[in-house]
Structure 1
Amino acid sequence: RIRNPYSRSQWQEMTHKLILLQAESSGVAATESDQLTYIQITRGVALRDHVMPTDITPTVFAMVSLLRPPSMEQRTEGVACVSADDFRWEKAHIKSTSLLGAVFARQISFDAGATETVMFRDGFLSEAAASNVWVVKDGKLMGVPTDNLVLEGIRYGLIEDICRELGIPFELRRISREEVFDADELLLSSATKEVLAITTLDGQRVGHPPHRGRPGPVCARLYAAYQDAKLASAG
């Protein structure tokens, strides 16, 4: 029920202006670095009430920062993750400014010296604190359905498209905890992590020989195709 406050051209103009301002303040030319644009739109200013107000102007917050992708070591070695119960409310598909659930989940992995927290609800995979999780078994890439328990990342559709182009079998279904821990490969995807291999989960090495505890072949193919798609979209 929040109306779009700007036209497409106005969004583009605002983003372009922020990128130039960020480049000026950082001393790094906009053409020489990747930028991350973060936008939040809230309903707007109104008298305090639990009823959604109408006919008010949405509030827009936007910022641009340097995009810091995973390091080369993380790319080649993969990352460690931990698991936890998904304790969030049942509207996880809503991307709101209340990030408390994600903050609590991320803190679990931070305290454990890990990169992400892989969450399970009633014994089935949901997602990570700020990433979607993918399971590879026998060459097939599997993810969970995009229902109210999962925030569909902006890379969800792209991952499916890449699988189709590469001929990698793709399936969305409920995935049990046992299947996750028996996977050949585990992957994270997000705007900042792109496609990143999980190589240990709860201290257990992911996968089976010869790629156990190492990024696997499906991850390598998806990552390479992801980079191609990213460059193509940039024109």
Structure 2
Amino acid sequence: MVQTVLFNNEIVSRKEVKIDLEDRGYQFGDGIYEVIGVYNTKTFKMAEHLKRLERSAKELRITLGNILEGLEANLEKLIALNGINDGIVYVQVSRGVAPRAHQFSQLEALPVVIAYTREMERPIEIQEKGVNCLLTEDIRWLRCDVKTLNLLGSVLAKQKAIDNSCYESILHRENVVTEGTATNVFIIKNQIVYTHPADNFILNGITRSTVIDLCKEEGIKVVEEKFDKQQLLQADEGFLTGTFIDIVPINKIEETVLGKGEPGRITEYLQRKFNRLIN
């Protein structure tokens, strides 16, 4: 089956898409994106993702105009046309095409929109068994709250984790733990859940927010405050959150075993609650 994609406001064959060599997304990473989970053909929290896309555009001064009109319907159509049962839909907006210069072009560049789908198996094994992680210095820019195409810091940290037989790099600025390369980080100590506050040092993940809401609904105390590497390594439990990986327990960080080195009781409880939402 030939994959169909969204290119600007048209759904076309992937082979028909041509991106200009002076697209600012290609040359500067000057653009934004979202990844939306699909479970049993249904998207999860599409509205929240598109709201964050709109916020990211505003922060980068990208004028969306009427781009958001009909976008949700087009993404749902893509999922159906490509026969996606479980997986993701990726949507990206670049500032557009203009002669290469760091400053914005005086010519009115029209944003370029692309979106595509990918069928994926749910990562049940790592959700049930947990993962090992690496500690890595956070070298990214200071606006991690904006979901931009500038991902090289995360790319290098993720590859470092893979090179060391780990699933994820947990990032820290000096001694303060921020997040993972593509995940948010939670720890549990004395039955209290902690995660870094949603400021400019992390992306306020949709799954992150969902887990915080679940904690509050279930009477689990959750605290959004900074914690350091020592607190991380001394946690009773830990887990990562992210689109489509959902909630993944942390068993070990480098040579330090968290808790009993297996998914903890509160982590598993939150997993069950999250699974009810997506199912």
Q: TM-score range by the shorter chain?
A: 0.7 to 0.9
Q: CA deviation at 1:155?
A: 1.6
Q: CA deviation at 1:82?
A: 1.0
- 1:227 is matched with which residue? 275
After the TM superposition, list the runs of 4 or more consecutive aligned residues in structure 1 that deviate by more than 3 angstroms.
Answer: 5-9
**Structure 2 residues not aligned, in runs of 5+:** 1-60
Separation in structure 2 between the aligned mates of residue 64 and residue 168 of structure 1, nearest angstrom: 35
Single out whichever of 123-132 and 88-97 deviates more from structure 2: 88-97
- The 5 Å alignment of 1:26-175 reads 30=84, 33-53=85-105, 55-72=108-125, 74-175=126-227
User: What TM-score do the two structures reach when normalised by structure 2?
Assistant: 0.74
Give the letter for the 1:221 counterpart: Y
Query: 1:19–1:35: 8 Å Cα contact kept in structure 2?
Result: no
Query: 2:87–2:244: 8 Å Cα contact kept in structure 1?
Result: no
**Structure 1 residues not aligned, in runs of 5+:** 24-29
Aligned length: 218
Q: Secondary structure at the match of 2:79?
A: helix
Q: Secondary structure at the match of 1:63?
A: strand
- 1:213 is matched with which residue? 261
- The 5 Å alignment of 1:170-209 reads 170-207=222-259
Give the letter for the 1:59 counterpart: V
Inter-CA distance 76–226: structure 2 relative to 1 (3 Å threshold): same
Separation in structure 1 between the aligned mates of residue 137 and residue 158 of structure 2, nearest angstrom: 12
User: What TM-score do the two structures reach when normalised by structure 1?
Assistant: 0.87
Inter-CA distance 198–41: structure 2 relative to 1 (3 Å threshold): same
- 1:26 is matched with which residue? none
Q: Secondary structure at the match of 1:83?
A: strand
Separation in structure 2 between the aligned mates of residue 183 and residue 158 of structure 1, nearest angstrom: 22
Q: Percentage identity across aligned positions?
A: 28
Q: CA deviation at 1:185?
A: 0.4
Q: Secondary structure at the match of 2:157?
A: helix
Q: CA deviation at 1:9?
A: 5.3
Cα-Cα RMSD: 1.6
Give the letter for the 1:151 counterpart: L
Separation in structure 2 between the aligned mates of residue 175 and residue 225 of structure 1, nearest angstrom: 25
Q: CA deviation at 1:53?
A: 3.7
Give the letter for the 2:219 counterpart: G
- Deviation string 1:170-225 (CA, Å, 9 cap, x unpaired) is 11111011100000001000002101100011032111xxxx10101111111111
Query: 1:185–1:198: 8 Å Cα contact kept in structure 2?
Result: yes
1:4 aligns with 2:64: yes
Q: Secondary structure at the match of 2:134?
A: strand
Separation in structure 1 between the aligned mates of residue 68 and residue 142 of structure 2, nearest angstrom: 32
Query: 1:135–1:141: 8 Å Cα contact kept in structure 2?
Result: yes
Q: Secondary structure at the match of 1:84?
A: strand
Query: 1:118–1:133: 8 Å Cα contact kept in structure 2?
Result: yes
Query: 1:41–1:60: 8 Å Cα contact kept in structure 2?
Result: yes
